[in-house]
Structure 1
Amino acid sequence: MEKKVGKKLNPKAPQKNLTFKKIFSLTQEEFLIKDFSCYLKRKLPLQGRIFISARIVGFYSNFFGHKTKFFFLWEDIEDIQVIPPSFATIGTPALLMILRSGRGFDARHGAKCQDGEGRLKFQFQTFASFSIASKTIRVLWRTKTTSYEDRAKLEEDQLGQDGKTNKNDDSESLSSNEDTTNFSNAFSAELLIAMELLIEVFEGGELEKKIMENVGCLNYSSTEWKETKPNIHYKFNRYLSIFGGEVTSTHHRTPTADGNGWVINETITLHGIPLSDHFHVNLKYNLEALQSMSPSCQVDVIICITWLERSKFRKRITRNIFEKLAHRSKEVFDIFDFNCFIFRLISHISYEFHGKIKIY
């Protein structure tokens, strides 16, 4: 990159990296490459900074306490155009980033416009050094033109070639005495909800569908409980997986020994994700009704990943799955708890209202 840009790119200070990740709520693996002061062109130009990392392009502005921030992926960018200086660009060149159709809608509030094909357009201008900013951004974008799916396929092919030459080391099944199973407590909480309401999260109705779509499961559908197992199908959004793979899972529900709750085991099968045939993913939901004055339940979610074959990406994939599924589990029950709180609040207000009517 330095050779193509024609300028040395110094590593950013740890504090600046930390601030960058905090602003955009990024994972620890993310790191800042460069940031530039510029204006975002909308109805009125907005001064801020554009941040670039190996994965994203982000913009942040704090104008007298009014904060504006958004980011999108390099792979979402279809084209980057240089706009010549004009009165509209305050006499300086500008960069116009055009996203692919249907991409980057989380950042649409920062877009200059959206064309007839559904592509969002973002315009950045008035850089302190347009030449350096333009070169750096365009070089990074060109390195990302190969899609994540293609690069994953190349990695998978490379692993296959390594397996042919080093069959005993990389492609053989894991030995029985090797620790191939990873357990993690993903989520624990006490919810002020009756068990009859809590179990609706797994009943396959509109409530479950709405919650799962809110946490990033696209085209979510499920079958009814047949004896003990319903089948579920959905697709990851790009936040949960950059590959956007499809998912099928099976729920197995059994009552607890004391009859005060349920144990739900979910077996997840991933499709279209690199190395998905190298491991199995299971989630275990422990739902227990607590003995207290008000209805409440203890919820515990445990993630189990069992590896079937060796991979040099094992630790990275395991950590990523744990983080994503733990975050999803927390969001599911947070949304459900919030909806129940709103329902109780509305019911209480309705009761008070009708009470006053009766009094008068």
Structure 2
Amino acid sequence: MALWKARALSPEQKVQIVEEESEAKSLQSDESGSFLGLEDVSMSEVYSCALPVPYNYSYGCIVDIFSLYQMVVIVLLVIQTGFCMELFSGGELEYKAMKKAGGLDYSCTPWESEKDDAYERQICYKFDKRVSRYRGEMTSTQQKSQLPNKNGWHIEEVMTLQGVPLGDYFNIHLRYQIEDFHSKAEGCQVRVFFGIAWLKSTWHQKRITKNIISNLQKRLKVIFGVVEKEFSRR
């Protein structure tokens, strides 16, 4: 029966079948090489913001504060920290931001040193029903490294979905770039790039991509809104 069908196909149909099979094979993931094959994924900017939050933030055990934003206080003990990078520190700010953005049961491993001055960690959380009616779970691997000019960080992330329709058809790739303003103004520039690595072929690629980007942009706005709000309280 299959042989009869093959003979009944036109040359154009046979070519189409070969092309589809070839495309399906090419969509299989290849995690060799650099960080989980991130260099092979087409990335586009989906979010950016300028935060009045310095990448290098100085604050002290204060006795007197005249102006937080102008840093007119360095009293007793001065602590240097990248406030915006606290979002990726595994601390209170990160947990608070992720919960606000619909990430439940959030957990992350400590950063571990990798080759070439890079650090890597694992993340896992469940989706609030506001984010996904299927709930579902997200696991991801993040890798961070300093920018060449040492004025900020790259955070690259590969995310995998479980418990959602077609979640095993793709991986989500993100790249955060957090960098100090080049001017004398206090603050940092945040840029987020997005891409999808398709592991299986589906007719719904465009719709899935559109939905993910829309959801992602909303969550990023909430997350960095929390960062700015928390900084203003310190």
Q: What is the TM-score of this pair, normalised by structure 1?
A: 0.46
Q: Distance in 2 between matches of 1:328 and 1:168?
A: 40
Aligned AA (1:174)? A
- Kindly indicate whether residue 96 of structure 2 is the aligned counterpart of residue 210 of structure 1: yes
Change (3 A) 1:168 1:277: farther
Question: Per-residue CA shift, 1:268-305, capped at 9, x if unaligned?
Answer: 01111122221111110001111333421110001111
CA shift for structure 1 position 171: 7.3
CA shift for structure 1 position 199: 0.5
| Partner-residue secondary structure (3-state), 2:112 | coil
Q: Check conservation: 1:170, 1:311, Cα contact below 8 A.
A: no
| Partner-residue secondary structure (3-state), 2:99 | helix
Q: Which runs of 5+ in 2 are unaligned?
A: 1-15, 28-39, 56-81, 114-118
Q: Check conservation: 2:142, 2:158, Cα contact below 8 A.
A: yes
In the TM superposition, 1:180-329 aligns within 5 A as 183-195=43-55, 196-227=82-113, 228-329=119-220
Q: Distance in 2 between matches of 1:232 and 1:171?
A: 34
Q: Distance in 2 between matches of 1:243 and 1:168?
A: 35
Is the radius of gyration larger for structure 1 or structure 2?
1
Q: Distance in 2 between matches of 1:278 and 1:182?
A: 17
Change (3 A) 1:257 1:169: same
Aligned AA (2:98)? M
Aligned AA (2:165)? P
Q: What is the TM-score of this pair, normalised by structure 2?
A: 0.69
Q: Distance in 2 between matches of 1:173 and 1:244?
A: 31
Q: Distance in 2 between matches of 1:171 and 1:271?
A: 26
Q: Distance in 2 between matches of 1:291 and 1:314?
A: 39
Q: Distance in 2 between matches of 1:287 and 1:279?
A: 26
Change (3 A) 1:201 1:174: same
Question: Per-residue CA shift, 1:71-129, capped at 9, x if unaligned?
Answer: xxxxxxxxxxxxxxxxxxxxxxxxxxxxxxxxxxxxxxxxxxxxxxxxxxxxxxxxxxx
Q: Distance in 2 between matches of 1:168 and 1:327?
A: 40
Structure 1 counterpart of 2:231, from 337, 340, 349: 340
Which residue does 1:353 correspond to in 2?
A: none
Structure 2 counterpart of 1:174, from 24, 29, 42: 24
CA shift for structure 1 position 170: 7.0
Aligned AA (2:189)? Q
Change (3 A) 1:318 1:200: same
Which residue does 1:145 correspond to in 2?
A: none
| Partner-residue secondary structure (3-state), 1:188 | strand
Q: Check conservation: 2:160, 2:170, Cα contact below 8 A.
A: no
Q: Distance in 2 between matches of 1:321 and 1:245?
A: 14
Q: How many residues align?
A: 176
Q: Distance in 2 between matches of 1:261 and 1:293?
A: 15
| Partner-residue secondary structure (3-state), 1:229 | strand
Q: Check conservation: 1:192, 1:297, Cα contact below 8 A.
A: yes
CA shift for structure 1 position 310: 1.4
Q: Distance in 1 between matches of 2:99 and 2:20?
A: 37
CA shift for structure 1 position 330: 1.4
